[in-house]
Chain A
Amino acid sequence: MNGDLSTDRALAARGSPGLARTMARRGTRMLLASDPDFPISDDLPQRPGRLFMEGDRPEVLRAPRVAIVGTRAATPHGLADARALGAFLAGAGVSVVSGLAIGIDGAAHHGALAAAGVRGDDPAGPIGVVATGLDIVYPRRHATLFERVRRHGVLLGEHSFGVPPGRARFPVRNRIIAALGDVVVVVEATSKGGSRITADRALDYGRPVFAMPGSRRNPAAAGCNALIADGAQPLLDPSDILLALGMTQGVRRGWSNPTPKRSMTSAAVLVHRALAGEPAHPDELAVRTGLPPGELAVAVEDLVDAGFAERSRGFVWPT
């Protein structure tokens, strides 16, 4: 068996001596489907024949793995949820798998990285699955995130060096994300988008799929709501993911809600109630609360300061 493997690798290297040189220089490892520790089990259809891997902590693949995916057009709510979920899972010793895209993907890894180091000895860490060659950073804006994932976890990809981002490669890459996750969580997804593909693959592979329910007014929640209608489990409590992984904790811990830094004024409480969990334009808040403009501004500032809301794009968003 070992002999076979070395032959495989030798063949791969002999096929392209340049590739072997680059791999040696970059410290890239090649995982072959025939390896016993290949992270994707051999009963999954369309399993990649090989995976390139770079990163300082290959052991993150041994931890329980949860894929967090979602839209690039995320709302502040979705981003906050993805961050919270990433941090929650990392804190529970789970490796977070994601696609390193703008939006939900990036937020999930940012959350996971922020919580990394909470438990020093566990093998969990971020796993980034790219749709390009490992030498290409796409999106460019995530260059720092790529580096951090490399240092605290691993980057995986099925393509050889120099393969550029291509429209068709992302949906294909998503099957790897679905296959790597023991559980797949969709945080925010538009009705058509890559997250839907990941979820479909996950169902093909028999993975439990969780979707975060959202308001019908939020186009970035439409995909999740559709998934729930199709049988995905609504993610009401992050502990349910641990349950699905078999890491029972017995208690549902619930979402960590922001604790008020100080008591809020009655006007701020009024505004918080008027928000009712959804983003609102200050004009609407003025109508709903009946507060004069100056007092409303003070109340919103108070609410934001206390951590119950944030401002973005001219709207007030509850956190």
Chain B
Amino acid sequence: MLASVRSAVLVGVDAHPVHVEVHVASHGLPAYNLVGLPDAAVREARERVRAAILSSGLEWPQRRITVNLAPSGLRKTGAGLDLPAALGVLAANGALPETVLEGVGVIGELGLDGSIRSVPGTLVLVDALRQAGATSVLIPMGNAAEAALVGGVRILPCRSLAETRACLKDESPWPDPPSQPAEPTATTPHTPDAPVVELGDVRGLPGARRALEVAVAGGHHLLLVGPPGAGKTLLAQCLPSILPPLTDDEALEVTKIHSAAGHPVGGALLRSRPFRAPHHTASAAALVGGGSGRPRPGEATLAHRGALFLDELGEFTPRVLDALRQPLEERVVRISRQHSALTFPADFLLVASTNPCPCGLGPPGCTCNEALRARYRRRLSGPLVDRFDLRVAVGTAPPDAALGPPSAEVAARVAQAVTRQRARYRNAAWRRNAAVPAGALLSGIPLSEEVDRILSEAARRRQWSGRGLAGVRRVARTLADLDDTDDVTVGHVLLAAGMREDVLA
């Protein structure tokens, strides 16, 4: 007897539909063979499937069972194929009418007692099944809320193998899906335990604050340079409080990525932008993705449409940092494997902090000689530093400095500037000032004759590269957007120039 069950597996941050074919031979020695590039978790399914069927009071056929995972060229990972295999065995053995599985996608991990456990990546898996033509999907109860985010497909929640079999045979009604997502507050795409600080609680530092606001409003990468304790990290931790909310399309995109990465998503799309703050001991695989086995999204992808904060940039391994250069340029991560090439989205705002020199003090109190400073500077490759359009020396705030404006006020200005940019670039392929390509700069960000002349003079005086000049032009546009004006003034241009200082020299 033969049965075929539709399912899906994760490939990077996407899902791929898979057919689980089960054949129970009418004769031959009892055996269970699994073919079709399974990984360890899928291979171990055999023991779980057998125990679950027996614990559910069903018969395990003492025959030769062959399970094939098609397409056979695709590497199958994860335990989500347990339930399809079990239902396939039941159907092939006659314990389940085969017709009830037509047009039904199945996802779920089995416990030895026949219970059905949650799996990561439900959102992407169900979406892949829907696109492959499934009209209903069997989903572990714990994932039902997340699966319901995918419209156009009926979600059938499952608690145990026996119950699911009974429901499929119409012997009992389907259980109700959980009405409310358990913990909607836990569903922020942030690094776990990353503290979120309110800008209104930070004293002084007007220049660094402005740089943070500009970075968020226009999407310009920001490098904060300053002595220890000046407030670089504190400022960066304010980022989540001023990032504009995700649009509907972006929310779906980000939620899918975090679902595929195995983060609990709950019953609602993520609405706040990701804020990721990996530790400086992070490996290249942790930062940009990849790794052994199934290539996993790295922090760069988890920060997609949000912010990636690298504290103590100079402490990161140089090789790891240089791996960021390509995603910074192309806004995607390309992972090449012997058998496959994957693309992870990685459009993030990079915010980094570093001390100015080994003694950490920076001017005017610094006692490091030039050779020491040069050695310290070499930890960050020039091309990487060149990617930062905003490089700001964070001064030290006197203890009596005034508290700054609250996050809500800044967030409102940012939102307004974002709206201005969306309106201006509505017919273009980009949405933010930082993304205006070099070729479209003159027409995309026009300057008056006088302002253009002063920008060229400033560029000549500072010996900027072409990229430097383009960066300042984009930042000046963002400053004007934050001022809610169409005209880029001399003040905007020179302020932008002042935010691209050679702070590490």
Chain A interface (Cβ < 8 Å from any Cβ of B): 71-75, 102-103, 139, 190, 217-220, 278-279, 281-284, 286, 293-295, 297-298, 300-301, 304-305, 311-315
Contact A297 B498 (CB under 8 A): yes
Contact B495 A281 (CB under 8 A): no
Contact A281 B498 (CB under 8 A): no
Nearest residue in A to B397 (C-beta to C-beta)?
Answer: A283
Contact A314 B393 (CB under 8 A): yes
Q: In the docked arrangement, what's the CA distance between A283 and B396, Å?
A: 9
Nearest 4 CB-CB pairings of A with B: A314-B393, A294-B491, A281-B395, A72-B369
Q: In the docked arrangement, what's the CA distance between A71 and B396, Å?
A: 26
Q: Tell me whether B505 is interfacial, beta carbon within 8 Å.
A: yes
Contact B363 A300 (CB under 8 A): no
Contact A102 B371 (CB under 8 A): yes
Name the B residues within 8 Å of A298 (CB-CB): 490-491, 494
Q: In the docked arrangement, what's the CA distance between A294 and B369, Å?
A: 33
Q: Which of B391-405 contact A (CB under 8 A)?
A: 391-393, 395-397
* CB-defined A-B contacts under 8 Å, sample of 10: A281-B396, A282-B498, A293-B206, A294-B489, A294-B491, A312-B505, A313-B362, A313-B363, A313-B502, A314-B356
Q: Tell me whether B258 is interfacial, beta carbon within 8 Å.
A: no
Knowing A281-B393, A283-B395, say if A190 contacts B367 (CB, 8 Å).
Answer: yes
Knowing A73-B369, A294-B494, A315-B364, say if A282 contacts B503 (CB, 8 Å).
Answer: no
Contact A314 B494 (CB under 8 A): no
Name the A residues within 8 Å of B365 (CB-CB): 217, 219
Knowing A293-B210, A313-B356, A313-B503, say if A219 contacts B489 (CB, 8 Å).
Answer: no
Knowing A281-B393, A300-B498, say if A314 contacts B366 (CB, 8 Å).
Answer: no
| Most-contacted residue by chain A among B366, B393, B494, B503 (CB, 10 A) | B494
Chain B interface (Cβ < 8 Å from any Cβ of A): 204-208, 210, 225, 356, 362-372, 391-393, 395-397, 458, 461, 479, 489-492, 494-495, 497-498, 501-505
Q: In the docked arrangement, what's the CA distance between A315 and B364, Å?
A: 8
With both chains docked as a complex, state the minimum distance between the C-beta of B355 and any C-beta of chain A, in angstroms: 12
Nearest residue in B to A295 (C-beta to C-beta)?
Answer: B491
B395 interface neighbour in A75, A103, A190, A284, Cβ under 8 Å: A284
With both chains docked as a complex, state the minimum distance between the C-beta of B451 and any C-beta of chain A, in angstroms: 11
Name the B residues within 8 Å of A314 (CB-CB): 225, 356, 362-363, 391-393, 501, 503
Contact A283 B370 (CB under 8 A): no
Contact B371 A279 (CB under 8 A): no
With both chains docked as a complex, state the minimum distance between the C-beta of B155 and any C-beta of chain A, in angstroms: 53
Q: In the docked arrangement, what's the CA distance between A74 and B371, Å?
A: 11
Knowing A313-B356, A314-B393, say if A279 contacts B363 (CB, 8 Å).
Answer: yes
Contact B366 A217 (CB under 8 A): no
Name the B residues within 8 Å of A102 (CB-CB): 369-371
With both chains docked as a complex, state the minimum distance between the C-beta of B83 and any C-beta of chain A, in angstroms: 59
Q: In the docked arrangement, what's the CA distance between A312 and B441, Å?
A: 29
Contact A286 B393 (CB under 8 A): no
B370 interface neighbour in A103, A218, A297, A300, Cβ under 8 Å: A103
Name the A residues within 8 Å of B505 (CB-CB): 312-313
